[in-house]
Amino acid sequence: MSKNGNENSPRGYEIFFNGERFILNAYATGEFKPESVIVELMDTEFEDNLENSSSDKWEGSIWDESFINFTDMDCVFKFTANYDNRIVLEDEVTVYIARDFYWLLHRGF
């Protein structure tokens, strides 16, 4: 609750604690389906090729042990959908990393 002051929603969907795995989902709806969906954690070498888990849903994750040391900061994920007709669609999503000593302590064991 210390992150946003709302007892009914103690942490917003855009808030991650340092060290958490980023679970990635993308939905590609419409007449045409992408051949691939790639997600990059901007300004890093981390990326993932999402797997098509259903007709419209693509899923994956990004994690590295170094994420434990993230400090309070914004992280930008760039989603790129590649279509067979050479169309490329991109979108960016920003999340906030909250350095939380409770989670840091538990990840130290």
Q: How high is the pLDDT of residue 31?
A: 83
Q: How many domains does the chain have?
A: 1
For residue 24, how many other CB atoms are within 10 A of its CB? 18
Task: Answer yes or no: is 97 within a domain.
Answer: yes
Domain boundaries, position 85: 15-107
The domain spanning residue 29 has which CATH number?
2.60.40
Q: What is the pLDDT of residues 31-41, one digit of tens each?
A: 888 999 999 99
For residue 3, how many other CB atoms are within 10 A of its CB? 14
Task: Answer yes or no: is 31 within a domain.
Answer: yes
d(CA 16, CA 20): 7
Task: Answer yes or no: is 75 within a domain.
Answer: yes
Verdict on whether the full-model pTM lies above 0.75: yes
Q: What is the pLDDT of residues 10-33, one digit of tens each?
A: 667 777 877 889 999 999 888 888
